[in-house]
Structure 1
Amino acid sequence: MDPTNTITLIKKCIPSLDGTHHKGQAGRIGVVGGSLEYTGAPYYAGMSALKVGADLVHIFCTTPAATVIKSYSPELIVHPLLDTINPLNEISLWVERLHVMVIGPGLGRDAKILRVISELIKLIGSKKIPLIIDADGLYLITQNPELVKDFSSPVILTPNKIEYERLINKLGETGFTALGKNITILRKGETDELISSNSELKWKYNTGGSGRRCGGQGDLLSGSIATFLHWTLASSDKLDIGETNKELLASSISCFAASALIRLCNSKAFHEKGRSMLATDMIEHIHGAFQDLYGE
């Protein structure tokens, strides 16, 4: 996975802006998260998905979080369903419309909500919808890795150093591969590392970034991956590199695309704001970083 060749593949998958696409075709992304304490995380994930180029983002959160998240941006479609009486019945009406789901940003660890999420993951698996799991979603998977076993659609886990150690303590260094062929891990850190059952798809990347570790950066990454993952899966016929599993390849490429993008946003924002840099500042650089890396 040479960076130059990978970026060439990414460019093949980016939808053109020639006016031939209808609304929703460039990505309908679902973000599951948002609780009384954590409302910023789903906002960051949703906004990064939109800023990268998705058309629509739906956020599924608890009731106390909904109005707050709505107040952040009119662009986000917010559903306060996670704590309703029959949440799966209502959420299932939306799931089939979505191209990719992100579970975890701002989710929290309320036991009742996590039971709902467990059932939702099973539903997502049955509908064969690509899934990205971050933050407290990773806590749930560490407790019950069987939830993502044998997904026929791609599953991307995005742990930081501590989350990765917890996961590996549960599964062992190669144990995640027993969960199924479509599991990919993006280990975040000073150097981002892609871990896959296919050794040809592994990579490490440490260009860009900064020493500033403000909250929200991982959420920007997960939302960005979601949009790139939809694009790469939708253009899998353009990913002509032999007999490689196209879904694993799409996962690897989309993680690289998002990693490079967010690291460059971080670098640009840090250059301007230094210690005062926030994740909000990084959002403003998504357009410029995207142009620098991938053109229009």
Structure 2
Amino acid sequence: VEAGGRREVSYRVRSDLRGRYPLGPLQLRLTDPFGMCELTRSFSTYDTLTVIPRVEPLAPVRLSGEAKGYGDGRQRSLALAGEDDAIPRGYRYGDDLRRVHWRSTARYGELMVRREEQPQRARCTVLLDTRGIAFQGAGPDSAFEWAVAGAASVLVHMLERGFSVRLLTDTGNAVPGESGDGFAGASQGSADAAGLMMDILAVIDHSEGAGLSRAYDVLRGGNEGLLVAFLGDLDEEQAAVAARMRQRSQGAVAFVLDSDTWAREPGDVPGPLDRSGERLRLLREAGWTALGVPRGASMDELWRHADRERRGVAAASGGEGPR
């Protein structure tokens, strides 16, 4: 570098595994062309590289619990009234007289005004099973990493479609969790909510829990709208717990990553102790749209398959079902 000169250098950093990685601090070593003098300088500043899960674009299928224009998630009375539903209430000092609702005023014998309220947003809960005993293997091609990436894809997709979304794990922790029900409210931007949940998913790891009961306790507290679950190995007891989760949701889709199924190569014959089919049958009988996930499966293809499965069940029961 000439005297008083300036150079800008850069280097590429990448990781095949999600996570949070420190970069720096920077250290420079300067020397003259003859190697007679060497000078080292270190800096204290460092940065952090956050690698989020891979997000796969999903098809805009119509699943139960969706918002106005996509399904039956919003109350029909609100949808029919438009984005601002006119609900009359008593006049208060300072109210705009242009909001007087004359029909209600005549009915109740007192001055009534319209109260604009935003319609309820459709809800979606994404349940991620993080139990260490439910997944085998590690690395970017493992079943657990697929489940994390699948959860991230669904979260981003549903936020983009206007849902109030939250991430729930088997430990019972919900993100976002500041509000009473844990959902991202209407005032919170989709980008902020997505960023918060992507940061959590970037570093999420296996839990030491053995069951799904804590997640069930959270889910049974209210109407969850659409429930999308990514589940690992399920024994008979945990499959029964997962089946009961369906009772509090308008629609439920489960992607089950059974270790035996995940370890098999395409075309392999299931072993005599293969239990994945039995667990899927139990979930379907409880009302879930349940799909097994083979190794290397496309999340978008499974998402479309789930929609076809739901429509087929609805048609078999005598109707097309909610769209």
Q: Which TM-score bucket, shorter chain as reference?
A: 0.3 to 0.5
- TM-score between both structures, scaled by the size of structure 1: 0.37
- TM-score between both structures, scaled by the size of structure 2: 0.35
Greater CA radius of gyration, 1 or 2? 2
* Bigger relative CO (Cα 8 Å, ≥ 6 apart): 1
If each structure's strand is expressed as a fraction of its own residues, which one has the higher value? 2
If each structure's helix is expressed as a fraction of its own residues, which one has the higher value? 1
